[in-house]
Structure 1
Amino acid sequence: IVPHTIRGFLSRYSTVLPTGEAFSQCVACSPTVRKAFEDEGFTFLLKVFNDLDYLENLTGLRAMQLATDLSEIIELSDDEEI
């Protein structure tokens, strides 16, 4: 379980760190990303900075997005009832 966001509340001057199960294809903390950084160091960072799709391709996130069956997604407009 890892925190992925920090939520702040100015009215209470407080923060909350919601936690959840780590996503295996996270572009920030997945084992694939950490290993690539450990192995390649600054070269890895250059790849990330110069290629917008590098992390998505490295982690398999892009392949997962492409594999989504769009026909299974139900689109509702504002005037439709559920």
Structure 2
Amino acid sequence: MQFEEEQTVTEISEYFNQQETQTLSEVEILGRVVSSLLYSRYPVTNKAIIEGLIRQLEQDSNVSNQQGCRNLLELVLLSTQDDVI
């Protein structure tokens, strides 16, 4: 009986861990970053998006999501390459 309870707890834990590491598309990642900026009432600028993507990259443990953040960072940085930092 106790073994079944432990197995159930393990299954529930694995289910929620899978949900946390869900792979997102690049559009979803960018949408989350922009939504976070809007919710916090920060202006949506290239600099703010870059900061948000870096924060997302540092916090996410999913390798696919990290690569998506890197791809988005590359796109944003290439579109702002002439800007003075």
TM-score (norm 1): 0.24
Higher relative contact order (CA 8 A, sep 6+): 2
Q: TM-score, normalised by structure 2?
A: 0.24
Whose helix fraction is larger, Structure 1's or Structure 2's?
2
